[in-house]
Amino acid sequence: MVKYCSDLTDRSSFIWKKYTVSPEPIPFRKISKRSQNQKIILKAAEKVFAEAGFAGATTQLIADVAGLPKANVHYYFKTKEELYRRVVYNIFDTWMEAASAFDTALGPKEALSRYIDMKMDLARSHPYGSKVWAAEIMHGAPIIQDYLEGQLLDWSKDRGQHIERWIKNGEMDPIDPAHLLYLIWSTTQHYADFGHQIETLNGGRPFSDAQWKAAKRSVKTIILKGVGLTPD
Amino acid sequence: MVKYCSDLTDRSSFIWKKYTVSPEPIPFRKISKRSQNQKIILKAAEKVFAEAGFAGATTQLIADVAGLPKANVHYYFKTKEELYRRVVYNIFDTWMEAASAFDTALGPKEALSRYIDMKMDLARSHPYGSKVWAAEIMHGAPIIQDYLEGQLLDWSKDRGQHIERWIKNGEMDPIDPAHLLYLIWSTTQHYADFGHQIETLNGGRPFSDAQWKAAKRSVKTIILKGVGLTPD
DNA sequence: ATATTTTTTGACTATATGGTCAAGTATTGT
DNA sequence: ACAATACTTGACCATATAGTCAAAAAATAT
């Protein structure tokens, strides 16, 4: 699967190779230190951006969470905005990779089922990224607008056409594909973005493995039946 | 329907009456000016908080949007946090009022159908409030936690019990009520919170009346069929 | 060994912003 | 008319924070 915008680390090593005269092997010790620290900072930033918002996130707090002095954060990421960009790009990449789980070669039941599973897994494994994404969209997608108009639109159109084909073939009930996609996105991401509310209504306790399993099951059941498919 | 936390305006006029000796009629000119300005400020604040987040919202910008000098905003609302509180309380009130549309005296089909309609209407009429709510929850509900644990939990439990009764009576398919509620909340609110993304995928144009109608229809169709009911 | 590059970090600065204040204006009560 | 109260607003201040910098330490190349 193609990585669209992240992996600047690898790219910078590539640039380094390109513009350096030496044909020697990549000094991976340095590269590794760079990418290692960047990874730590990005992870901390994702958490802080998710919990405090872009404006509320201070580089000092990000540094603290990363366990580094603030100046060090600015050494690896020139500005807060650049750091934020990278976080947003990363989650978009992750999601686009997962989007391949919507495999139209399979029938509608399997394709939708696997896609929902994948999105639920991501909601559980990447809750901070999901929240950062939600905030980015809510604020008008100042950073990610190009990707919405490009890759996301392309992907949606493509999957929409497949859904329409399934409908024409009588493999599922007629439904506007766009609304079906929105319903899947919203429902699955809700378990990340509104995790706090769900936890509160769950007696203040986070979901157990069994509860996550039940959640996936419930979501799949309603959606599949909702479009005329028979869940297992 | 009871108002839970807003209407400080009315309450302050009540206090005024209480502690003033005069038995004269309420000087509604002043009160009206107060509540009028507060309303303007609250509306501006809702928009700015939604678009910029709590930390990103400046009192100066709120004042500009409201068309007032900043000091005037602080005259009516001591602190930014107090203003934010009021905005959050207002949307919670609005939603709790709408929650009565989930009328369990009706059958499951009518109750769910009307509730979804109501939530979709609110997503359209109160998109800023919805976004502020989403951000509040994503940041751990620092302001509204009490209400989650109180009224929202109570309401959810109550409606959950009714849903379970319907299931026991064979009026709808067995489904965990909590997940059904989450699915309804997430799907409907998505049209507000991710309105920008939806608009982008809609060719950059906001939904027309017809598209909103279609959206409501699609959502209701999938959810009702998803729980074994037959949408009209 | 020594030069060179990369990384670390405390100290510093410029700026933005929440909130205050006092002086003035409008409104209302008597 | 006049006193009292409510509202308006420009100017101001204290603080927080993104970003800089220079000096040193560490790693790497030759």
Q: What is the pLDDT of residue B31?
A: 63
A154 shares a domain with A115:
yes
Confidence of residue A18 (pLDDT cuts 50, 70, 90): very low
B146-155 pLDDT, tens digit per residue, is 999 999 999 9
Domain membership of residue B19 (yes or no) is: yes
Angle at A166 between CA A163 and CA A172, to 5 degrees: 95
Angle at alpha carbon of residue B101, lines to B99 and B107, rounded to 5°: 120
Q: Does B160 lie in the same domain as B56?
A: no
Mean pLDDT of chain A: 89
* Predicted local distance difference test score (pLDDT) of residue B232: 83
* Nearest residue, CB atoms, A215 vs list B179, B214, B228: B179
The kind and range of the H/E element at A229 are: none
Secondary structure letter of residue A129 according to DSSP: H
Chain C positions under 7 Å from a protein CB? 6-11, 16-22, 27-30
Chain A contact set for B191 (CB, 8 A): 182
| Other C-beta atoms lying within 10 Å of the C-beta of residue B40 | 16
What's the Å distance between residue B75 CA and nucleotide D12 C1'?
Answer: 17
Query: Domain tally for chain B?
Result: 2
Is residue B215 within 8 angstroms of chain A, CB to CB? yes
Chain B closest-CA separation from residue A121 CA (Å): 16
Residue B30: per-residue pLDDT: 52
Closest C1' nucleotide to A71's CA: C9
pLDDT classification of B7: cutoffs 50, 70, 90? very low
In this prediction, residue A29 carries a pLDDT of 52
List the CATH number of the domain containing B112: 1.10.357.10
Q: A52 contacts in B (CB within 8 Å)? A: 55, 139
Q: How many CB atoms lie within 10 A of CB A28?
A: 10
What is the ipTM score, two decimals? Answer: 0.89
Domain check: are B117 and B55 in the same one? no
Same domain, B116 and B214: yes
- Interface check for B214 against chain A (CB to CB < 8 A): the answer is yes
pLDDT at A127 over 80: yes
In a domain, B201, yes or no: yes
Query: What whole-number distance in Å separates Cα of residue A47 and Cα of residue A65?
Result: 9
Q: Is B143 within 8 Å of chain A by CB?
A: no
Contacts of A4 (CB under 8 A, 6+ apart): A89, A92, A93, A96, A147, A151
pLDDT on residue B1: 35
Distance from C-alpha of B187 to C-alpha of A46, rounded to nearest angstrom: 25
Rg (CA), chain A: 20
Q: What digits encode the pLDDT tens for the residues B14-24?
A: 322 333 333 33
Mutation site, A113, A138, A173, A189, interface B, largest B CB count within 10 A: A138
Kindly tell me if the per-residue pLDDT of B8 is higher than 70: no
Q: What is the mean pLDDT of residues B120-146?
A: 98
Q: Rounded to a whole number, what is the distance in Å from the CA of A13 to chain B's nearest CA?
A: 34
A3, pLDDT greater than 80: no
- The verdict on B65 and B118 lying in the same domain is no
Mutual orientation of helices A28-56 and A80-99 as an angle, nearest 10°?
Answer: 100
Q: Does B164 map to a domain?
A: yes
Which residues fall within 8 angstroms of residue A87, CB to CB, at 6 or more apart?
A42, A45, A46, A49, A129, A132
B208 assigned to some structural domain = yes
Cross-chain residue pair A138–B140, CB shorter than 8 Å: no
Q: Is the pLDDT of residue A15 over 70?
A: no
Do B163 and B180 meet the contact criterion of CB atoms below 8 Å apart? Answer: yes
Is the domain of B122 the same as that of B217?
yes
Give the length of chain A: 232
Task: Name the DSSP class of A149.
Answer: I
Q: Is residue A140 part of a domain?
A: yes
pLDDT in the model for residue A32: 77
Contact B175 A221 (CB under 8 A): yes
Q: Are A137 and B197 within 8 A, CB to CB?
A: yes
pLDDT in tens, B166-198: 999 999 999 999 999 999 999 999 999 999 999
Q: Is residue A208 part of a domain?
A: yes
Q: What local confidence, expressed as pLDDT, does residue B4 receive?
A: 36
pLDDT over threshold 50, residue A6: no
Residue A68 lies in a domain: yes
> Do residue B117 and residue B185 come from a single domain?
yes
CA B121 to C1' D27 (Å) is 62
Residue of A nearest to B223 (CA): A226
CA of A71 and C1' of D22: distance in angstroms? 13
Nearest to A119 by CA among A94, A149, A141: A94
pLDDT of residue B32: 77
* Whether residue A34 sits in one domain with residue A142: no
Q: In this structure, what CATH number is given to the domain that contains residue B76?
A: 1.10.10.60
Listing DSSP states for chain B in one string gives ----S--HHHHHHHHHHHH----SPP-HHHHHHHHHHHHHHHHHHHHHHHHHHHHH--HHHHHHHHTS-HHHHHHHSSSHHHHHHHHHHHHHHHHHHHGGGS-TTS-HHHHHHHHHHHHHHHHHH-HHHHHHHHHHHHTT-TTTHHHIIIIIHHHHHHHHHHHHHHHHTTSS----HHHHHHHHHHHHHHHHHTHHHHHHHTTT-PPPHHHHHHHHHHHHHHHHHHTT----
Q: Of A202, A197, A187, whose CA–CA distance to A116 is shortest?
A: A187
Asked if the model's pLDDT at residue A130 lies above 50, the reply is yes
Tell me: pLDDT of B101 over 90.
no
Tokens 């493995």 correspond to: A209
Type of residue numbered A161 = Q
pLDDT above 50: residue B2? no
How many Å lie between the alpha carbon of A211 and the closest alpha carbon of chain B? 10
On whether both B203 and B153 belong to a single domain, the answer is: yes
Q: Which helix (H) or strand (E) holds A123?
A: helix A108-125
Nearest-CA distance from A106 to chain B in Å? 21
Name every chain B residue with its beta carbon within 8 A of the beta carbon of A176: 214, 218
pLDDT digits (tens, 9 = 90+) for A207-222: 999 999 999 999 999 9
Q: How far is the CA of B59 from the C1' of D16 (A)?
A: 16
| Residues 6 or more apart in contact with residue A195 via CB below 8 angstroms | A127, A206
Confidence of residue B10 (pLDDT cuts 50, 70, 90): very low
Q: At what angle do helices A127-138 and A108-125 cross, to 10 degrees?
A: 100
Measured from the Cβ of residue A112, the count of other Cβ atoms closer than 10 Å reads 25
Name the residue facing A148 among B138, B197, B222 (closest C-beta): B197
Question: Does residue A127 sit in the same domain as residue A197?
Answer: yes
Q: Which two tokens stand for residue A196?
A: 């706090």
- Among residues A79, A109, A141, which one ends one of the domains? A79
Detail the protein residues whose CB sits closer than 7 A to any atom belonging to strand C: A 30, 33-34, 37, 68-72, 74-76; B 22, 24, 27, 29-30, 57-60, 70-71, 74, 78-81
Q: How far is CA B215 from CA A163, A180, B94, B188, B199, in A?
A: 17, 10, 22, 9, 13
- CB count, 10 Å around CB of B65? 18
Q: Which of A79, A108, A142 is the last residue of a domain?
A: A79
Residue B231 lies in a domain: no
Q: What is the pLDDT of residues B25-45, one digit of tens each?
A: 444 555 678 899 999 999 999
Is pLDDT at A26 greater than 60 in this prediction?
Answer: no
**Residues of chain B with pLDDT > 70: what percent?**
87
Residue B214 shares a structural domain with residue B108: yes
Q: Which domain holds residue A222?
A: 100-226
Q: CB–CB of B228 and A225 under 8 A?
A: yes
Q: What is the mean pLDDT of residues A111-117?
A: 97
Confidence of residue A142 (pLDDT cuts 50, 70, 90): very high
Nearest alpha carbon to residue A218 among B230, B137, B160: B160
Q: What is the pLDDT of residues A45-101, one digit of tens each?
A: 999 999 999 999 999 999 999 999 999 999 999 999 999 999 999 999 999 999 998
Query: Which nucleotides on chain D have any atom < 7 A from a protein Cβ?
Result: 6-11, 16-22, 27-30
Chain B residues touching A156 at Cβ < 8 A: 201
Q: Is the CB of B30 under 7 A from strand D?
A: yes
Distance from CA of A20 to the nearest CA of B (A): 42
Which of A95-104, B92-101, B136-145 reaches the highest mean pLDDT?
B136-145
B200 vs A: CB within 8 A: yes
Across the interface, whether the CB atoms of B56 and A51 are under 8 A apart is answered: no
> Is B140 found in the same domain as B48?
no
